[in-house]
Amino acid sequence: MRIESLISAFSTYARGNTQNTSSMPVASAEPTSHPSEDVRVNLSAQAHSLFASQKTKTQGQDQDIENSDLPDTLKQILRQIRELKRQIAEQKAELQRELNRPIANEADADQQEIKLSGLQHQILALTGALVEAVSALGEAMRKNNLTQEQATQVMVLASKEVKPKKSQGLY
């Protein structure tokens, strides 16, 4: 796995952090003595702590899914649905901020139009992925022969409202 992928994965988990992390050392890369390894990544203690706190926060948001007596396949799909809903909420919030941004001149109006178009496309793509995930959930429910209680539990968990994550990251 490339260093960029690891750092990107870590950054994804760290999104939502409200601390100022711009001066925090996140990772260092060094060549290894083993020919089969390309790079060894050493995360700082601060980065490990940040990663653990963000992972716990995300898990806490989906704790009701984890505590359910549903098959693991359904739990995974429910987590994906929640994550897609969070991403859609973030994009909608960004779209609303952009719509409320004052426009000083024609160049600003052009930039806003481009940004709004991009945000709309992202929301459409995420909505399509959400529709596919809900379809997969229905198929998994049929394959797992759920009890009425489990089916109700799935529907309640799938319909739960989610809040967008904070948009601040490690940058």
Grade residue 13 by pLDDT with cuts at 50, 70 and 90: very low
Q: Which residues are paired to 41 by β-bridges? A: 29
CB-based contacts of 26: which residues, under 8 Å, 6+ apart? 7, 10, 43, 44, 47, 170
Give yes or no for a contact between 86 and 163, defined as CB atoms under 8 angstroms apart: yes
Per-residue model confidence as pLDDT tens digits over 35-62: 555 555 566 676 666 656 555 555 578 9
Instruction: Tell me the pTM.
Output: 0.62
Q: How far apart are CA 146 and CA 65, in angstroms?
A: 16
What angle (nearest 5°) sits at the alpha carbon of residue 156, between those of residues 152 and 157?
115
Per-residue model confidence as pLDDT tens digits over 111-162: 999 999 999 999 999 999 999 999 999 999 999 999 999 999 999 999 998 8
In the structure encoding, which two tokens stand for residue 40, read together?
């060894």
Nearest one of 90, 93, 118, 116 to 103, comparing CA atoms: 116
Residue 145 Rama label (left phi>0; alpha psi -120 to 50; beta):
left
Ordered by start, the domain boundaries in the chain are 3-58, 62-159
* Residue 26: burial class (beta carbons within 10 Å; 0-12, 13-18, 19+): middle
